[in-house]
Amino acid sequence: MARIAIIGLGLIGGSLGLALKRSRLRDVEFAGYARSRETREKARKMGAIDRAASDATDAVRDAAVVIIATPIAAIPDIMEQIAPALPQDCVITDVASTKAQVMRWAEELLPHHVSFVGGHPMAGKERSGIDVADAALFEGKPYCIVPFVHAKETAVNTVVGLADLVGASPVFMDAEEHDSYVAAISHLPLVVSTALFSLVRDSAAWPEMAQLASSGFRDVTRLASGSPEMSEDICHTNAQNIIHWLDRMVAELRKYRDLIRGDDEEALFKAFARVQLERDAFLAGGAKVKRPERPVEAGIGLSDLLMGHWAASRTREVMKAVESQEPPAGRAHRSRHRPQRER
C-alpha cells in the first residue's frame, strides 16, 4: 500500500483524513500522529486514519505524502523530527494559516530529496479538536497552494489533487501575497472579534448586557471562541501584516465615529447603504475575480503520485533484496534446489 501521513489530528487534520478516506483512494493507508494518545485513538475509531502511529517519525516512514496539520509553532520541531525518515521524492505539505515563515522553515529544515508545497484550506470552525472534524469542511472552499519556485510539477499536482479530492478549489499564490490577504480577511476579524468581546465583557454592566446579547453579538464575536494557541501563532508569524490592517481598521472606525458625531445624516446613510450593497454583491458572488491558473499537466495528480511512489518503493525493495541475495519482503523463499521425489 501507498501511505499518506497526517501529523496533527485536530479539526483540520482530522477533517482532511475523513474527506480523503471518503474519496475512496484505492490501496492507500492513512497513518496519523497526534501528541495525545486519546486523540490518535479517536481519529482511528472515527475513520480519519487507518493506523495510529507511535510518533511522527513512525507515521512518515515510507509515506508518499505527508500533511503537517499541527499548530504553527510546532511545525519546525515536526520538520526536524521527520526529516531523517522522509523517503525519496516524498511530497510534504501543510495547512498553516500563515505561509512565509513556514516556507522558510521548510527550506531550512527539510532534506533536498523531498518536495514541499505549502497549503492553506480556507475553512474552519470556531471550535477545535478531533471531536468536531468534518469530512464536508472543505467543500466549495478555496484551498491556497504556495509552491516553491523550484518545486517539482508532480509535487504541485499532488497537492492540487489533494484539494480536489476534499472538494476544495485550488488557488495559487506566493507566500507574501497570501499572508497579506489573509491578514485582512481572516486574521483581522479574529483580533476584532476577540477585542470586541473583551471590551464588552470587561464592562461593569456585563451581567445585564449578557442577558440581552443575541445573534448579532454572538455572530460578530464567534471567532473569539477559537483556539488561543492557534490565535497566538497566527499573530506571531504574521504580525506586520496584521498590524497594518489593524491600523487601517482604527482609521475606518474613526471615520464612522466622525460620521455618527456629525450633522450630515445623508452622509451616514450613504455609508451604510454603500456597504450593504457591496456586501450583498459579495455574498451573491459578484466580487469573485478569476485568477490565472498555474498550468497543471493533465492526468497527473495525487493518485498517480501514490501509484508511482508505491512502484518506486517496490523497485528499491527488490533491488536491495537482489543485492543481498534475499527474497523481497512478502514473497515466500523458493529454494534453487528442489527436493527429489520419492520413487
pLDDT tens, residue by residue, 186-206:
999 999 999 999 999 999 999
pLDDT of 89 strictly over 70: yes
> In the predicted model, is pLDDT for residue 79 greater than 50?
yes
pLDDT tier, 294 (very low <50, low <70, confident <90, very high otherwise):
low
Question: When comparing pLDDT for 1 and 40, which is higher?
Answer: 40
Residues 91 and 184 in one domain: no
Residues 125, 90 share a domain: yes
Range of the domain at 76: 2-173+291-306
Confidence of residue 320 (pLDDT cuts 50, 70, 90): low
Answer yes or no: do 74 and 168 share one domain.
yes
CATH of the domain at 204: 1.10.3660.10
**Apex 143 CA angle, 169 and 22, nearest 5:** 75
Please provide the average confidence, as pLDDT, over all residues in the chain.
87
pLDDT score recorded for residue 331: 44
For residue 263, the model assigns a pLDDT of 86
What is the pLDDT at residue 304?
A: 64
Q: Which three cell numbers mark 156?
A: 504541485
Name the more confident of 233 and 288: 233
Q: CATH number of the domain that 25 lies in?
A: 3.40.50.720
Residues 9 and 125 in one domain: yes
Q: pLDDT-derived band of residue 151, with 50, 70 and 90 as boundaries?
A: confident
Q: Kindly state whether residues 117 and 241 are assigned to the same domain.
A: no
* Co-location of 103 and 249 in the same domain: no
Q: What is the DSSP letter of 131?
A: G
Q: Does residue 120 fall inside a structural domain? A: yes
Cell numbers given for 49: 486514519
The answer to whether residue 341 is domain-embedded is no
Residues 6 or more apart in contact with residue 188 via CB below 8 angstroms: 242, 245, 246, 249
Asked whether residue 329 is domain-assigned, the answer is: no
Would you say residue 340 has pLDDT above 90? no
Distance CA 231, CA 204 (A): 27
Q: Is there a contact between 97 and 182 (Cβ–Cβ < 8 Å)?
A: yes
The pLDDT assigned to 339 comes to 41
Which of 166, 118, 115, 122 lies closest to 142, judged by CA? 122
162 and 255 together in one domain: no
- Residue 92 sits in the same domain as residue 119: yes
- 10 Å Cβ neighbour count for 149? 5
Place of cell 517519525: 57
Indicate the number of domains in the chain: 2
Asked whether residue 9 falls in the same domain as residue 96, the answer is yes
Distance between CA atoms of residues 25 and 309, nearest Å: 14
What average pLDDT does this structure show over 13-35?
Answer: 93
Of 112, 115, 134, the residue nearest 124 (C-alpha)? 134
More confident residue, 155 or 336: 155
In a domain, 32, yes or no: yes
Q: Name the band, by pLDDT with cuts 50, 70 and 90, for residue 337.
A: very low
**Mean pLDDT computed over 94-117:** 96
| CA 96 distance to own-chain centroid | 5
Q: Are residues 51 and 163 in the same domain?
A: yes
Strands (E) across the chain are located at 2-7, 28-33, 51-52, 65-68, 91-94, 115-121, 142-147, 169-172
Residues 105 and 202 in one domain: no
126 shares a domain with 68: yes
Name the nearest CA neighbour of 301 among 117, 153, 148, 143: 153
